Amino acid sequence: MTEAPDSPGADSAGPDPLGFTPELIELARKTFAGPVAFLKSAPTLAFIPDASVPEVAFAGRSNVGKSSLLNALTGRNSLARTSNTPGRTQELNFFDVGEPLAFRLVDMPGYGFAKAPKDMVKKWRFLVNDFLRGRQELKRALVLIDARHGIKDVDREIMEMLDKAAVSYRLVLTKADKIKPTELAEVAARTAEEARKRPAAHPDVLETSSETGLGIPELRAAVLEAIG
């Protein structure tokens, strides 16, 4: 197998520094090259699909690049809608992966958009909190952090929610191509240090770029690892 050049483990036959084997990287690539389809949007819990398969959720600030990363993850240009207007996603969006269905991805509403009305923020908090607490099939959340800014207080709020709900989560740096490698290393180190202090957080941090493909093979592998 030939790994993507941006994969940290591309120069060795063994696991990469994050512990992903070449076999898992390849299985993840094949999985996301297969059927992936939008299922439905849920403005309230009454509309969410039955919890019949494992799920992995994506959370992040409104302008963190969540939709672009989901498109890069699945190798589709328009699976998740992207917009120049932060805060467009205000519902839980579900995507089916595999045929037969193997697992689902859940695109959670973006948070931290300063211009959002207070009632919208309140609605977001209730929807997300109720989903996190009551979804037994939710195996892990991936919390996206803009590499240019690092962890903000609004990110800590969702981390607190995940900690209290006892939902395992992993921090993922986005837009890693937008800063210098030395700055990226510093942000990654600070992010990992904070993750290690959190009871429900995975200690390893992923560095990604939807534009260059950096870390996308590892992100796919992290999803498969999460669902077991």
- What is the tens place of the pLDDT at every residue in 166-213? 999 999 999 999 999 999 999 999 999 999 999 999 999 999 999 999
Q: What is the mean pLDDT of residues 49-58?
A: 95
Listed range (13-17, 56-60, 62-66, 130-134) with the worst mean pLDDT? 13-17
Which tokens hold the place of 38? 């939008």
The pLDDT of residue 77 is above 80:
yes
The pLDDT of residue 4 is above 50:
no
User: Which backbone phi and psi does 41 adopt, to 5 degrees?
Assistant: -110, 145
Contact 128, 161 (CB under 8 A): yes
Q: What is the mean pLDDT of residues 157-166?
A: 95
Confidence of residue 114 (pLDDT cuts 50, 70, 90): low
pLDDT number for residue 90? 74
Better pLDDT: 115 or 164: 164
Confidence of residue 80 (pLDDT cuts 50, 70, 90): confident
Which tokens hold the place of 176? 């890693």
What's the mean per-residue pLDDT of the chain? 88
pLDDT number for residue 12? 40
Element containing residue 39 per DSSP (H, E): strand 36-42
Confidence of residue 51 (pLDDT cuts 50, 70, 90): confident
The pLDDT of residue 13 is above 50:
no
Contact 205, 173 (CB under 8 A): yes
The DSSP 8-state label assigned to residue 198 in this structure reads S
The DSSP 8-state label assigned to residue 108 in this structure reads P
The pLDDT of residue 137 is above 50:
yes
Q: What is the mean pLDDT of residues 115-127?
A: 79
pLDDT number for residue 7? 41
Q: Could you tell me the maximum CA-CA distance found in the chain, to the nearest angstrom?
A: 52
